[in-house]
């Protein structure tokens, strides 16, 4: 399936990968806290930059800096295909889906909608 650039997606990754300190420091505002959940997966709501790379999927990460006077930090990160469990493409993910993801321990709110 072709995934267009700038598509809104939920990338479901292996939690062990998301918990690597080197990864966590770019994904989340609090890189010292372990990512927890009900199983071994973690959801990242984000935007696709390139899904045609043979190595993995490139996503964009927009996140708030820890201090109030700081601007939004923006990163691009490659998630290796071996760490991706599923990609869900949607025009927009409802607040109910996002709330359920937070309720069960998924905190990868990367995109701004």
- Mean pLDDT for the stretch of residues 38-58: 92
Confidence of residue 77 (pLDDT cuts 50, 70, 90): very high
Tokens standing for residue 91: 């025009």
Of 47-56, 60-69, 103-112, minimum mean pLDDT range: 103-112
Tokens standing for residue 62: 């927009």
Confidence of residue 112 (pLDDT cuts 50, 70, 90): very low
Confidence of residue 108 (pLDDT cuts 50, 70, 90): low
User: Which stretches of 15-94 are assigned E, i.e. beta strand?
Assistant: 41-50, 56-64, 72-80, 84-89
Question: What is the model's pLDDT at position 95?
Answer: 74
Residue 1 CB burial class (10 angstroms; 0-12, 13-18, ≥19): exposed
% residues pLDDT > 70 (the chain)? 78
% residues pLDDT > 90 (the chain)? 35
Question: What is the model's pLDDT at position 2?
Answer: 85
- Mean pLDDT for the stretch of residues 29-44: 83
């Amino acid at each position: 399936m072709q995934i267009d650039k700038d598509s809104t997606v939920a990338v479901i990754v292996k939690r062990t990968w998301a918990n690597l300190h080197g990864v966590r420091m770019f994904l989340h505002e609090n890189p010292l806290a372990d990512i927890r959940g009900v199983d071994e997966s973690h959801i990242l709501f984000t935007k696709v930059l390139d899904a045609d790379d043979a190595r993995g999927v490139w996503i964009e990460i927009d996140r708030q800096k820890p201090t109030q006077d700081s601007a939004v930090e923006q990163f691009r990160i490659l998630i290796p295909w071996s760490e991706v469990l599923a990609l869900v493409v949607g025009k927009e993910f409802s607040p109910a889906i996002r709330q359920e993801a937070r309720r069960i321990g998924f905190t990868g709110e990367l995109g701004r909608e």
